[in-house]
Chain A
């Protein structure tokens, strides 16, 4: 399995259509989906898969090294926005990022979806062997 940091609802719908045999589905992603992370997870659940969410997070996303007048653009969607980055704004961004993580965790818990957080700095082997084992995915 390859870690795909771009979760798209469309991609998951294709996945469930191509795999008729239901079973365990491990979702490794940053869950940065403009359409909402819930729809992808729900798609797995509705099609009879048992989703496990391994959320790869990069804490640098919460505290980007940027200041002053800049034009931020989404590296996936290309959306742009002019913004003057100030320390208060960066504080708010950090809080928004944390809220987003909390929101994901709360969703998974509410829907009984196993949820693990993995630091993006960790190597892939570490994530698979140690993180999944620690979370009880592997024995």
Chain B
């Protein structure tokens, strides 16, 4: 027996003092209440018979005193929190990994899988033994312990209440690592995973991890697998008509039977398209919705089954996208006269074009883009990014190399935004050109076999794109690629400040460009909560957990940066519950039963005995059995 509460010396002191007071109260004679009677001889007759029981009365009084002293001893002993040494040494150390990933939002077990998991863990918490300790860890993309190992049941129950499902995947490997670290050197270590089994490749997640003495067990949650998911969703504006856009999405039927689905598309909150689709069992069904209009900023796709079938996971029934912001770009064209250039710039209604002769450069005002057509005066402040259509011998951002004749684009970076949509770029014929000599840090976007012809880079902090030939010396200006190339360059320059933000994937660390040199920003999540996030190197660092539209604001009154995030993760959408968990060895068994019932802490029993004694004493006193 050992004492985990007050030490023995303190207990003896407290017990002695309280016992002394109790005895003193018994020794002190109480002042009795006087009661007049008409004939005291009657009382004498009665009390004469009682004289014989005086000794018995004294004994009963002594017994009452002993009961009181026993009460004191029990309560004082309880203060010491006595525990059997064996129990202190043999308590179980349990880390419970509770899956809070998106698949746990499934409603196949009412009200949700996470609620069912919470109930299962609550049962374990209530059944903890006196020396057992438990820690609850939230397992999704960010593994977070909700407290240290403790036997404090209210604290564990409070931690359970903190569990919330997220729109992210479960990072099982991180969870296992954290649990093993927490259980290192702990007695009787146990790891309990409560999950629906939508954990991806569990054997891979556990590879290289040594469980050692840790006992792994698994509590499965979930009952059904019917689910239809939006597994891909993206949108783009048409380059030459930015008021219209097209959508590509993909539906995946993870059920065992075909599904009839109604797809709704909402632009800026209003329905812009409704269509019905049939998706066979297991099919990934891509769908393009072309030439759409009616949305300027936000797009949301939503599906619902219309055939009466079940779709147990609502989290993947919606997807969000943000259309690139349409803004008017100010373009300054410095040219001696170029119809091909001016005509191409007229194609985009969102361009404010200023044409100026080289001798009159710079014109008043600021610009997002300056196009130098065969000339290269110093780029004026406020000139924005610079596009050089042919690099002069001097004054350009980079040196001109050897002269080339009858060349074309033999290779180009297809992933560069400058070459986007440029089909047939390889067919361009150039009569005369000069190979460009990129400086360190410059990027060759396209080149002929004889040398670079299209280079992008940065000079004095300002971006430039240089073409190694005059477009009029090629058939580029006669091809559809010509206006597309110009608009790509303009878009690339314009969108650098606002940094075109596409849809993010929940569970990843998002690095969102923000204007200015702030150290922190305010993130408004889809559920209306606000949080302060750090900014490093001009990018806000956010661990994304919720799907939907987010807003990031820097400083007071700053223009918000909006972006969308989606749960696009078939591992989470595949909600068929796992019956067992196998980390590479044998399947993990269910956890060993916890000892149900009252926690076996002796102090609790001592207090209960003291209460029972008090009740007995009270009853016997009022029935005049002990007086």
Contacts and interface: CB of A to CB of B under 8 A. Distances in A.
Given A69-B32, A81-B47, A97 B624 contact: no
Nearest to A77: B40
A16 to B, nearest CB: 24
Interface in A41-98: 58, 61, 64, 66, 68-77, 79, 81-84, 86-89, 92-93, 96-97
Size class of the A contact interface (CB-based, 8 Å): 20 to 34
B45 interface: yes
B39 A74 contact: yes
Interface in A6-61: 30, 32, 34, 58, 61
B40 A70 contact: no
A83 B40 contact: no
The secondary-structure label for the interface of chain B is mixed
A100 interface: yes
A92 B46 CA distance: 6
Given A86-B624, A87-B624, A73 B32 contact: no
A69 B28 CA distance: 14
Contacts of A77: 40
B38 interface: yes
Given A79-B40, A89-B46, A70 B624 contact: no
A84 B40 contact: no
Nearest to B34: A71
B627 A83 contact: no
Contacts of B44: 81
Given A69-B30, A88-B624, A89-B50, A96 B35 contact: no
A103 B290 CA distance: 121
A70 B34 contact: yes
B17 interface: no
B359 interface: no
A84 B36 CA distance: 14
B55 interface: no
B34 to A, nearest CB: 5
Given A86-B624, A88-B624, A92-B49, A66 B43 contact: no
Contacts of A64: 35, 37
Contact of B39 (A61, A84, A89, A92): A61
B261 to A, nearest CB: 82
A89 to B, nearest CB: 6
Contacts of A71: 32-35
Contacts of A83: 43, 47
Given A79-B40, A86-B624, A87-B624, A73 B46 contact: no
B42 interface: yes
Nearest to A31: B39
Given A84-B624, A88-B624, A72 B46 contact: no
A41 to B, nearest CB: 17
B58 to A, nearest CB: 12
B33 A61 contact: no
B428 to A, nearest CB: 115
B41 interface: yes
A100 B38 CA distance: 14
B42 A34 contact: no
B39 A73 contact: no
Given A93-B42, A96-B42, A72 B49 contact: no
A75 B38 contact: yes
Contacts of B32: 69-71, 82
A73 B33 contact: no
Contacts of B41: 32, 34
B40 A73 contact: yes
A69 B627 contact: yes
Contacts of A88: 624
Contacts of A82: 32
B627 A86 contact: yes
B624 A30 contact: no
A99 to B, nearest CB: 8
A61 B41 CA distance: 12
A48 B624 CA distance: 52
Top 10 A-B pairs ranked by shortest CB distance?
Answer: A86-B624, A74-B40, A32-B39, A71-B32, A75-B36, A92-B46, A96-B45, A70-B35, A79-B40, A71-B34
24 contacts: A61-B39, A66-B35, A70-B33, A71-B34, A72-B34, A73-B34, A73-B35, A73-B37, A74-B36, A74-B39, A75-B36, A75-B38, A76-B38, A81-B44, A82-B32, A83-B43, A83-B47, A84-B624, A86-B624, A87-B623, A93-B42, A93-B43, A93-B46, A100-B42
Given A72-B43, A74-B39, A87-B624, 7 more contacts: A70-B32, A72-B35, A72-B36, A74-B36, A74-B38, A88-B624, A89-B46
Interface of A: 30, 32, 34, 58, 61, 64, 66, 68-77, 79, 81-84, 86-89, 92-93, 96-97, 100
